[in-house]
Structure 1
């Protein structure tokens, strides 16, 4: 039974860290700006952090679907299938991430109106949001990468990716704010760089694991018809579930 417990823990721990990575980034940002001596900075990170936590949690289905589908192909020993799962997930993450960037102002407006914060706090929150939202494609890509690694029983890679993301964010927060004298823009920039760096490292690990250019060679068969419909149905159901769950939380906390 010890071995089975260890196996479960090796899968559960990266998933737990992945689930809390976005709130942890917000908490670290809050802790750093809390030493600036002005309440508006603290309030801005709290407000914008809540919006981002809700926004990105909605897209957790990318990680869940990547885990399940990658595990199926891994069990079948289907290397091209494993590569397609990653490629499909990353393509979907890129499209959704760019959609969030294009819709950033309506999203920010609705979120901040719902929070009903002080005008000075809202102004700083918008400043933070306008920078960090550019990390959306990287955040969603990291969801896919973590889910894919776990599905392929590469939990250590998923764990390392999450740890690197949060450690990089902490280091850059301390560099940009106390050292360089930045405020909300500094912590937002730190989060943006940390997410992009984590995505790049994750892609390199995945690229090497799948045999380098062999994964690129299958790009022409990235979306077979039956797999595309399965992907859309699976993600649709997971999205509805997550939106319903998060809407309940938002209703009671707003």
Structure 2
């Protein structure tokens, strides 16, 4: 496995585009809704985090799937890569179905209890009533991303990412504002557009996997005993990352619920800053995910002595990309804030939180890269143990 700066960058850039798309869906929704109204912008904060909490359950599973695929790829066990991927793919579809059905019954009463404003509650449900069905397609994307990052063939991620962005922007423009003869759905249209965009990317992934020489056919669901054995192998790695991802996003929901009790302006401001923070965070996550996959491949090849050298290179490259972006944010904050709102009060209220958020990335870069590197070794319980503020035991 080549761990040169050039190869790290080659693998990372498509991963970055893929990860950015997940956030760009939310960023696009926030940007469009910021021009609809303050209530819609505030509601999208809580609704968006609710969706992400459910999404990270699947993405946490994808971490374990990626680690296992990368390890087997390093060991040149191509047949096992296909069987493991197929098992993970089928499980993620099943998991998405369970979450979608459960959320239909659980989300409305939970949100009604925690959201003070009836207007924000109603708007949030309008968004989630459509957005939640995108989980099925989002989990399919998670499975394919884990596969292609694991085997270090990431170019297709760029194609699917661009597809999703273009479709989401067009659908949001048409459905939120009511263009080309369509009615103006407002926040409901943002949920529809995001769901359609995720379907488009999932469809492209399936076509590419099926009809290219790099792709392999899915394993049939016939040997239940083998499938169950493979699923236990994945869950052994991913159960801890699923739990950690859920706890991480749940803290965001608690934060937004607390802010919502302060007022719509405070909630809208927090949503804007969180949305902007997603961009540099995706840079960090892209490099960290690449580092995790390369660590797994190195261990599969028996080259454990190269792991620390790889981590130093990934951290250095991540800083090269993040620091210029942070400086632009400090010098020209309005460049980002005006994408979300023309309200001068919201812009002024967002400045201080924006500066604090940007500064935090000086520490976040090495912390997240090393965290993902440890996950890449397969010891995902250690990452959860050091993440949680309370003691966690197996």
Specify the TM-score bucket, using the shorter chain as the normaliser.
0.7 to 0.9
Report what 2:9 is aligned to.
9
- What per-residue deviation string (whole Å, max 9, x for no partner) do you get for residues 141-191 of structure 1? 111111111112211112222232122111111122231222122111111
Deviation sequence 1:104-158 (CA, Å, 0-9, x none): 13134324643x2410121011011011101111111111111111112211112
Rate the CA distance shift 1:252–1:135 in 2: closer, same or farther, 3 A: closer
Q: 1:211 to 1:147 in 2, by over 3 A?
A: closer
Q: Does 1:215 align with 2:217?
A: yes
The verdict on how the C-alpha distance between 1:129 and 1:90 changes in structure 2, with shifts beyond 3 A counting, is same
TM-score (normalizing by structure 2)? 0.57
Change (3 A) 1:217 1:123: closer
Larger fraction in helix: 1
Query: Could you tell me how far apart the structure 1 residues matched to 2:42 and 2:255 are?
Result: 19
Cα distance in 1 between the residues matched to 2:210 and 2:219? 12
Deviates more, 1:20-29 or 1:191-200: 20-29
1:1-254 correspondence runs (5 A) = 4-36=4-36, 38-104=37-103, 105-111=105-111, 113-114=113-114, 116-178=115-177, 179=179, 180=182, 181-209=184-212, 215-216=217-218, 218-221=220-223, 224=226, 225-254=228-257
2-structure distance, mates of 1:88, 1:111: 34
| Structure 2: distance between partners of 1:23 and 1:54 | 13
Following TM superposition, by how much is the alpha carbon of 1:211 offset from its aligned partner in structure 2, in angstroms? Answer: 6.8
How many residues are matched?
Answer: 250
- Distance in structure 2 (CA, Å) of the matches to 1:66 and 1:159: 20
Distance verdict in 2 for CA 1:169–1:215, change over 3 Å? same
Q: Distance in 1 between matches of 2:195 and 2:109?
A: 21
CA RMSD of aligned residues (A): 2.6
When residues 28 and 220 of structure 1 are mapped into structure 2, their CA distance, relative to the original with a 3 A threshold, is: same
Deviates more, 1:176-185 or 1:95-104: 176-185
Question: Aligned partners of 1:252, 1:140: CA distance in 2, in Å?
Answer: 26
Gaps of 5+ in 2: 258-394
Cα distance in 2 between the residues matched to 1:22 and 1:112: 27
- After TM superposition, the score normalised by the length of structure 1 is 0.85
Q: Structure 1: any 5+ residue segments left out of the alignment?
A: none
Contact 2:64–2:238 under 8 Å retained in 1: yes
Alignment check: 8 A CA contact 2:69 2:84 kept: yes
Distance 1:3 1:228, change over 3 A: closer
Distance 1:220 1:123 in 2: 45
